[in-house]
Structure 1
């Protein structure tokens, strides 16, 4: 069961990455990615793995030590839960970066490698996006006219 959940974790996230990277200008992509519920399948897998092991997980995260975290993640369930944790958070960060880049007008060809980096090495993808996003500013939102206020 754990092996199946481990394998399923990336499988449920991959379609969203495909949409953001390969089909960024498709209208369906924007509708799907706008919903934060896109991470729900990965969250469910994480919950199925972590909740039954909460008695072991809580002490390790409330008072973390290197040995305690190593022990927690060293088994099949811990590794699968850690993987699900990474996949869900990387997808959420990728979603934020994609949405933010659309608002700022960052070209899709620039975002594609950033999103791939986010899939592979999450925090480095986030760092890359934070570095490049400053080159594109959000368009100023027009203030409502006095009559509309």
Structure 2
């Protein structure tokens, strides 16, 4: 079950990334990406992975230590939950950057590599977008 949920996580996010990167000016892209509910399927996967292990997860996140977080993420279920967590937040950040860039008139050609960076290395994509946003005013 964990393997299946892990595999579904990015598969459920990929169509939204494809819309933002490949069809950024299509009217349906803005309508679809405009809904924060696009992350809901990934959040459901996260819940399916975390809720059964809540007794182990809560102490590790309430009073985090490197050893505790390592132990938590060092299992298949922990790694899958961590992956779902990252994919959900990366998609939400990518969604925000896409919508914000449209409002600011930032070219989709500028945004495509930033969104790709956000998919692969979320915080660096966010930093790149914030830099471009500042640079372009």
TM-score (norm 2): 0.99
1:105, 1:136 within 8 Å by CA — same for their partners in 2? Answer: no
SS for the counterpart of 1:103 is helix
Partner of 1:51: 51
5+ residue gaps in structure 2? none
Equivalences for 1:1-80 in 2 at 5 Å? Answer: 1-80=1-80
What is the TM-score with the length of structure 1 in the denominator? Answer: 0.91
Q: What corresponds to 1:131 in structure 2?
A: 131
* Richer in helix (by share): 2
1:116 aligns with 2:120: no
* Rg (Cα) greater in structure: 1
2:97 aligned residue = 97
4+ residue runs of structure 1 moved beyond 3 angstroms? none
Contact 1:6 1:83 in 2 (8 A): yes
* Alpha-carbon distance in 1 for matches of 2:33, 2:94: 10
Residue 135 of structure 1 and its aligned partner are, at CA, apart by 3.2
Report the Cα distance in structure 1 between the residues aligned to 2:97 and 2:114, rounded to whole angstroms.
Answer: 9
Whose relative contact order is higher, 1 or 2, with alpha carbons under 8 Å and at least 6 apart? Answer: 2
| Structure 1 residue matching 2:136: 3-state secondary structure | coil
Unaligned runs of 5+ in 1: 138-149
- Give the paired residue count: 137
Shift of 1:134: 1.8
Q: Distance in 2 between matches of 1:136 and 1:45?
A: 37
